[in-house]
Structure 1
Amino acid sequence: MAPGATMMQPMPLQPVRDDIDNTWEYLQTGITKIMMNLQDGVDMRTYMGIYTAVHNFCTSQKAIGFSASSNISSGGHRGAHLLGEDLYKKLTEYLTEHLRGLVAESKAHTDEALLAFYIREWHRYTDAAKYIHHLFRYLNRHWVKREMDEGKKSIYDVYTLHLVRWRDVLFAQVSIKVMEAVLKLVEKQRNGETIEYNQIKQVVESFVSLGLDEGDSSKTTLDVYRFHFEKPFLEATKGFYKNESKQFVAENSVVEYMKKAEARLDEEAERVKIYLHPDIAVSLKKACDQVLIADHSNILRDEFQVLLDNDREEDMARMYSLLLRIPDGLDPLRSKFEAHVRNAGLAAVAKVASDADKLEPKVYVDALLEIHTQYQGLVKRAFKEEPEFTRSLDNACREFVNRNEVCKSGSNKSPELLAKYTDILLRKSSTGVEDRELENTLTQIMTVFKYIEDKDVFQKFYSRMLARRLVHSNSSSDDAETSMISKLKEACGFEYTNKLQRMFQDMQISKDLNTGFKEHVQSLGVKGLDSSYSILGTGFWPLTPPGTTFNPPEDIMADYERFSRYYRNKHEGRKLTWLWQLCKGEVKANYIKNAKMPYTFQVSIYQMAILLLFNDKDKITYDEIASTTQLNTDSLDPSLSILVKAKVLTVSPDGEKVGPGATFTLNYDFKNKKFRVNLNVGMKSETKQEEAETNKTIEEDRKLLLQSAIVRIMKARKRMKHQQLVSETINQIRGRFVPKVGDIKKCIEILLDKEYLERLDDDDLGYLA
């Protein structure tokens, strides 16, 4: 029947209501109009005619049933069932024949023409199905519903029946060819051609619509779409990229391949957004990652070292992004990165460490920071601050900070040099570093400090240097000092900085004490020296008593005794130990000829005692100086040597070394560019001695720290295996330093001897209260 002719014929009169053949003949005319020419519209007469015919047929047998008996007989139900089933079967047969005709038509089309045909007929068919579904509403509501309620699996509502017949008749015959046409179109696009991708999108929608849940016709699944679309699409995708990537790698560099792979992955992601179903996104990504990245991961990883060596940051970022997409793709990169950073750090230190004893702390710390800053930037920009790459950076930095050319043989040079550099920054200097710049530098100091394993070594050196800065009022600023201590406290806790903070408190208390002392001297009406005193708590300051006897000059002795009496009156029972080696002062040189103004010498207390002897005579022998000051040679000789070197004193006979037999004469012709001359400078021998003492103190403190940790652990646990105790001790102590197993075992033996611990059976140790 020609499509045009059907619309010209008027609908026949309503059929006999219980005659299936008569009813179907009537319905078929209207259904064919809807199936073939829905775009021309359906008039109300036709619409109502079909609806009424379906209603009349489905209710006819029920009426017969009521007239036959006063009761609703089972035969009546069977009659309604049979007539409903006949109508359902007629519609099913009609749809089957209609679709077979479309299958025959489809054979005349291929590729894009087939897609156009399929899409056109799909839309015509599904639009008609929606109309027919409404027209057969009575059949759906009663007969179909009852059949489905009774568990019949092959019965569907009318719209779903249309989809089932499309799937089983037409789709089963043409889906492979349709999919082949889709894949050809996609391949064209992948090869750079412009396509009408809307066709693919509509095919996808069609395949998705055919996913019917056989167990529950009201639900849909993606089974049809996944089997008939996703599966062949993914296979074709893998095949295309497998061939393309293999050829591209053979003809281009690894870097160019990464750019190509990156572009292809972006294209596929965009393809999902534009015309594919979202369900395919994960599977498509996985397939592309496999053929474009995983299959070529070895050549990518081999290229990573080349990129590192040449600082190819952009290309490293690209490689990171690619290998991040596959399981364990980045592990080999992290290992290579860690080794590279470690070697770079070791090389940087070796470059500046020609002589470790003469190595400037700033040069050393800057070398460490330069490497860290360089590769931290790389981790941030190229590796998106990924935690595992950050861990690799930290591991590498920890290695080259603690085990390098300067720190060989397990020395404590790194924390020592870091503390010295901090001291340089925090001391008053003529460079005039701005507060903001100083704060930034201190923050960088903490970056290196984070990697230092022997944090107790840093603490010892830092506290000694802080003590000197505070005692000599030589800090650049209290704010900077406080900021540094806050940073250390944040990094290591309150206990680490407790003594440092107490040192600051002592200095504040000393200021108040000095104010009171000056008022006391004024009340006595005595003209004392312009002096100030610092009272330093023995348990908090890393200072030792002087290593020599000393007889202070009379003027100083009088002030010293006056202050001692004042302090004892305020704090009865406290004992003062005078740290003469840290005392300093200023003396005016009024004796020098041709001087425009008197020179002021900044001197240690020992130098002051020596110079004040020359108030009585111009020449004094070494023995006289030693006898009067009571200084031993270790303290006297360096003090005299500096005065001679500065030409404040001359020694005779000419060229005589400082020592017994030498005579010292006041130099009246002394000249200097500055009128304030600092003679209170430390000798290298003093510095080395102090370093040796500090290192010795560190070792002693470590033994005590280990013993206290062992006792603390055993007190809590009461009984432990020897090996467990060693491991637990290492875990507790490693925040301060990395203890050696041998040292821990020695400490355990000491505690056994002291009867803090006892040996039990099975290599167990017990705690003795």
Structure 2
Amino acid sequence: MSKTSSAARPPPPMPTSKDDIVNTWNYLEWGVDRLMYSLKDGVDLKTYMSLYTSIHNFCTAQKAVTQHTSLSSNHRGAHLLGEELYHRLNDYLKRHLAGVHSEMVKHSDEALLTFYIKEWKRYTTAGTYNNHLFKYLNRHWVKREMDEGKKDIYDIYTLHLVRWKDDMFGTTQNAVMGAVLRLVEKLRNGETIEHSKVKDVVASFVSLGIDEADSTKPTLDVYRLCFEKPYLEATSKYYEAESAQFLAENSVVDYMKKAEKRLDEEKERVSLFLLQEIMQPLMKTCEQALIAKHAGVMRDEFQVLLDNDREEDMARMYKLLARIPEGLDPLRSRFEAHVRRAGHLAVEKVADQGDNLDPKAYVDALLEVHAQYAALVKNAFTGESEFVRSLDNACREYVNRNKVTQKNSTRSPELLAKHADNVLKRSTKATEEDDMEQMLNQVMTVFKYIEDKDVFQKFYSKTLAKRLVNGTSASPDAETSMISKLKDASGFEYTNKLQRMFQDMQTSKDLNQAYDEWRNEHIDAEDRKNDIDAYYQVLGTGFWPLQPPGTTFVPPNEIVKTYERFQTFYSNKHAGRKLTWLWHLCKGEIRANYVKMGKVPYTFQVSTYQMAILLMFNDSDTVSYDDIANVTMLQKETLDPSLGIMLKAKVLTAKPDGAPAQSGTSYTLNHDFKNKKVKVNLNVAIKAEQKQEAEDTHKTIEEDRKMLMQSAIVRIMKSRKQIKHAQLVSETIAQIRSRFSPKVPDIKKCIDILLEKEYLERLEGDELGYLA
């Protein structure tokens, strides 16, 4: 039946008999034809209602005829009439689609798509009208058949789709899909296409997904098999060919830009004309062709980008390789090795200074590498946790094992503590609060990577003690801030003693105020005038890392009365407590009335030992070495450096000139002394003493470590009662790793010590037991 004849022929007469199937169908076929071919003109409302009425009359006529018969025959009659109408419409659709198919095969490529879409839209729109027209049939006969589980019975609209799927789709879908793929290839090649054509084809494929078990539930099976699968295969083939050719003619960096652009384009096309469900498989297909196939080539380029600080290109590579499984693992390992090398090179540049290595230069070298690559991780690798881990591993390696630490594995924490001391010391150059906080954060950055945190703690506590005792801290707030940071990083136990040192300083401040009040009440004004102006710090023995004086010493008479008076006050206030005077930490100022800068006498800042020596010159301008030694009782190791500093500053002169510090040498006040400053600091640390102090600190650390390992072993054994030797070693390492990295032989020695002390016993099978 041609389109022209069906649209042009006049309508047949409306059936007069309600159960006349021939006339009823002739009338209905004319109406369906009008809807199928002449949608623009269609049928008027009156004609549409007459068509609808004829279907209603036909379907209800049989009920009236058979209403006095049995239920089964009534049902059977209605069933047969409904079936006849349904099958006539089904046959009509077959004939109609045969005509459409014969026309369609004459077209190809875009013309084929245009024809297919036009016919599909006209056919499905007509199907919608027909579905309304046959509503009564749908509601009664079709519903009853479907409820009884009859196969191949659908509502009228679904019947239209089934017929298209069976009579048109099976023979044309390959040609249609081929045309779609060629159209998309044109788009990928930079040509402009009509997106709507692909979108309409996708919609038609989706609509044809009819569930055989339940036609009311659409599926995506047809779409996935007939559109998605070939689309993905064509995509893979296209990009495999393009990427191979592009890489052969261009650089890796240019290829990455190209791949990035292609991925963005494909993602954008999904929203333009594809189904959202294709996004994930399409991206995986593109990533396989564009990235996974060439991942090795990109990774080989990574080292070049690292060496040349090509951050933007590394970011691009990261984003691409992050898309594929395990794509970044080789990059992380190469990045870690690169940072480690950079750290070692940075340390080597400053390592040649030996024992005179500047702590700031060393720490700055460590920080510079960390800062550079931390910024790279943040900017290029989006701060990804695994890259952060690689950075941390590399930094931990070069901070703890480098050229500086070859001879002494604890050199890093020692130098970091000295650098922290320099940062927190009061200097002539005022430090902004923000700068101070930034410098403390930098110290903590390196501290995070230090393995021997107990070494840092020892040296830091010693330098903190000196700053507090000598009053050289830049800021109490900065000190407390640093301790807070250490506490956050390593826990309360790590900073407990540091906090107690601060408490002692506040207690001493309150104690001095109480002492002043006591003096005013108990000492007459005349005696108070003769007192030396003094400030006392009472420090708890268990919390301060302070050694007793290394020499005998007799304090000068001028200060004896003053400190004895304080001692009386303290004994009355705290009965049973004993004060031990740490003379090597005491200091004071002496006014040199014999020599002046203009009219102002010089003031010498001295240690207590130097004070005792200089006070002897109140009685004579010249004093012998032997007299000084006998009066002060200082040992030669302390006396000689104290005199040496005053000789170097030209406060004293030796006779004979240039004579060494020994019996027979005499010393005279230099009345021609001159200095650019009114206050002259003679209380200078002696390098030999500093070196000895560092050695003593390391010895203390070793002893502390033995005790820490032993206490950890006892704790483990107390809870376990019995344990294998190897397991005890591994658990001990796990417990104290946060403080330092213990060596297995050292742990074994500690186990042997505890066996000897009968804390542990050997059992059968390499087991150890706990002895309560």
Return the TM-score normalized by structure 2. Answer: 0.98
Q: How far apart, in 2, do the equivalents of 1:357 and 1:84 lie?
A: 106
**Aligned mates of 1:600, 1:718 — CA distance in 2:** 66
Distance 1:142 1:156 in 2: 12
- Cross-structure match for 2:505: 507
CA deviation after TM superposition for structure 1 residue 4, in Å:
5.4
Cα drift, residue 757 of structure 1: 1.6
Residue 16 (structure 1) aligns with: 17
Q: For 1:694, which of 690, 694, 697 is the aligned residue?
A: 697
Aligned twin of 1:376: 374
**Could you tell me how far 1:57 is from its partner in structure 2?**
1.9
With over 3 angstroms needed to count, the CA separation of the structure-2 counterparts of 1:210 and 1:620, relative to structure 1, is same
Picking from 657, 661, 668, the partner of 2:660 is 657
> 1:391 aligns to what?
389
Amino acid at match of 2:347: V
Please name the residue that 1:139 is paired with: 137
Q: Which of 704, 711, 715 is the equivalent residue of 2:714?
A: 711
> Could you say what secondary structure the match of 2:211 adopts?
coil
SS at match of 1:84: helix
- 2:375 and 2:201 mapped to 1: Cα distance? 49
Preserved contact between residue 588 and residue 600 of structure 1 (Cα < 8 Å): yes
Match of 2:723 among 713, 720, 745: 720
C-alpha distance in structure 2 between counterparts of 1:16 and 1:116, whole Å: 44
Out of 101, 106, 115, the position equivalent to 1:108 is 106
Q: Indicate yes or no: 2:647 matched with 1:644.
A: yes
Aligned 8 A contact 1:65 1:76 in 2: yes
Contact 2:418 2:460 in 1 (8 A): yes
- Alignment match of 1:179 (pick from 177, 180, 195): 177
- Residue 236 of structure 2 corresponds to 238
Mapping of 1:418-433 within 5 angstroms? 418-433=416-431
SS, match of residue 354 in structure 1: helix
What letter corresponds to residue 543 of structure 1 in structure 2?
A: L
Partner of 2:44: 43
Q: How far is 1:295 from its partner?
A: 0.3
Aligned partner of 1:484 in structure 2 is 482
Distance 1:461 1:364, change over 3 A: same
CA distance in 2, matches of 1:704, 1:39: 99
Q: Which residue of 1 aligns with 2:280?
A: 282
Equivalent AA in structure 2 for residue 547 of structure 1? G
- Is residue 2:588 matched to residue 1:585? yes
The answer as to whether partners of 1:715 and 1:767 remain within 8 angstroms in 2 is: yes
- Equivalent positions of 1:521-536 (< 5 A) are 521-523=519-521, 524-525=523-524, 526-527=527-528, 528-536=531-539
The match for 2:450 is 452
Task: Determine whether 1:750 maps to 2:748.
Answer: no
> Cα deviations across residues 658-716 of structure 1 (Å, max 9, x unaligned)?
22222111100000000000000101101100000100000000111111111111212
Indicate the residue corresponding to 1:613 in structure 2: 616
Please give the alpha-carbon distance, in whole angstroms, between the structure 1 residues aligned to 2:689 and 2:245.
Answer: 72
Secondary structure at the aligned position of 2:426 is classed as: coil
1:251-294 Cα shifts (integer Å, max 9, x gaps): 00000000000000000000101111111111100000001000
Query: Which amino acid counterpart does residue 37 of structure 1 have in structure 2?
Result: S
- Distance in 2 of aligned mates of 1:381 and 1:408: 34
- 8 Å contact kept, 1:15–1:53: no
Q: Please, which of 732, 737, 744 is the counterpart of residue 729 of structure 1? A: 732
* Equivalence for 1:569: 572
Question: Equivalent residue of 2:218, what SS?
Answer: coil
The AA in structure 1 aligned to 2:590 is V
Distance of 2:124 and 2:662 partners within structure 1: 116
Could you tell me which amino acid in structure 2 is paired with residue 416 of structure 1?
E
CA contact (8 A) 2:34 2:42 kept: no
- Give distance in 2, aligned partners of 1:104 and 1:683: 109
Question: Are residues 38 and 11 of structure 1, via their aligned partners in 2, closer, same or farther at CA, if it must alter by over 3 Å?
Answer: farther
1:62, CA displacement in angstroms? 2.3
SS in 2 for 1:408: coil
The one of 317, 326, 329 aligned to 2:324: 326
Distance 1:762 1:481 in 2: 53
Contact 1:593–1:669 (CA under 8 A) maintained in structure 2: no
Asked if 1 retains the 8 angstrom alpha-carbon contact of 2:14 and 2:23, the reply is no
Using the TM superposition, name which of 625-634 and 648-657 deviates more: 648-657
- Structure 2, unmatched stretches of 5+, are none
Structure 1 position 503, deviation (Å): 0.3
1:594 Cα deviation (Å)? 6.8
Q: Residues 266, 15 of structure 1: CA spacing in aligned structure 2 closer, same or farther, 3 A cutoff? A: farther
Q: Which residue of 1 aligns with 2:296?
A: 298
Separation (CA, whole Å) in 1 of partners of 2:268 and 2:43: 41
Deviates more, 1:721-730 or 1:6-15: 6-15
**SS at 2:761's partner residue?**
strand
Identity among equivalent pairs (%): 65
Deviation larger for 148-157 or 246-255: 148-157
Structure 1 residue 2, shift from structure 2 partner: 5.4
Q: Deviations over 1:139-174 (max 9, x none)?
A: 111111111111122111110000000011111111
The question of whether the paired residues in 2 share the 8 Å contact of 1:7 and 1:33 is answered with: no
In structure 1, distance between residues paired with 2:46 and 2:138: 22
Does 1:92 pair with 2:90? yes
Kindly state the Cα deviation for residue 411 of structure 1 after the two structures are TM-superposed: 2.0
Deviation by residue 1:191-250 (Cα, 9 ceiling, x = unmatched):
011111111111111111111111111101111011111111111111111111010000
Aligned twin of 1:159: 157
SS at match of 1:766: strand
Equivalent AA in structure 1 for residue 572 of structure 2: N
Equivalents in 2 of 1:366, 1:649: separation in Å?
41
In the other structure, the counterpart of 2:633 is 630
Q: How far 1:33 moved relative to its partner?
A: 0.2
Equivalent in 269, 287, 292 of residue 271 of structure 1:
269
Q: Provide the rounded CA distance (Å) in 1 between the counterparts of 2:4 and 2:233.
A: 44
The amino acid of 2:202's aligned partner reads V
Q: 1:8 deviation in Å?
A: 6.6
Give the aligned CA root-mean-square deviation in angstroms: 1.2
Q: Could you tell me which amino acid in structure 1 is paired with residue 573 of structure 2? A: K
Could you tell me whether the CA contact under 8 Å between 1:403 and 1:410 is conserved in 2? Answer: no
- Residue 547 of structure 1 pairs with residue 553 of structure 2: no
Task: Look up the SS of the partner of 2:508 in the other structure.
Answer: helix
Q: Distance in 2 between matches of 1:332 and 1:250?
A: 23
1:698 partner SS = helix
1:349-398 CA deviation, whole Å, 9 max, x = no partner? 00111123111111111111110000000000000000000000000000
User: What is the Cα deviation at residue 410 of structure 1?
Assistant: 4.8
Pair 1:740 & 2:743 matched:
yes
Measure the CA separation in 2 of the matches of 1:242 and 1:15.
Answer: 69
- Is 2:313 the counterpart of 1:315? yes
The alignment partner of 2:90 has SS state of helix
Find the aligned partners of 2:208 and 2:230 in 1 and give their Cα distance. 17
Q: SS where residue 651 of structure 1 aligns? A: strand
Q: Does the CA-based 8 Å contact 2:295-2:327 persist in structure 1? A: yes
User: Equivalents in 1 of 2:598, 2:729: separation in Å?
Assistant: 70
Aligned to 1:65: 66
TM norm structure 1: 0.98
What SS class does the counterpart of residue 600 from structure 2 fall into? coil
Alpha-carbon displacement from aligned partner over 1:731-750 (angstroms, at most 9, x marks no partner): 11011101111111111111
SS in 2 for 1:353: helix
Secondary structure at 2:276's aligned position in 1? Answer: coil
CA distance in 1, matches of 2:252, 2:16: 78
Q: Which amino acid aligns with 2:355?
A: D
1:415 to 409, 413, 416: 413
Question: CA separation in 1, counterparts of 2:147 and 2:518?
Answer: 109
Deviation at 1:3, TM superposition (A): 4.1
Match of 1:609, SS state, is helix
Partner AA of 1:42 in structure 2: V
Task: Rate the CA distance shift 1:3–1:517 in 2: closer, same or farther, 3 A.
Answer: same
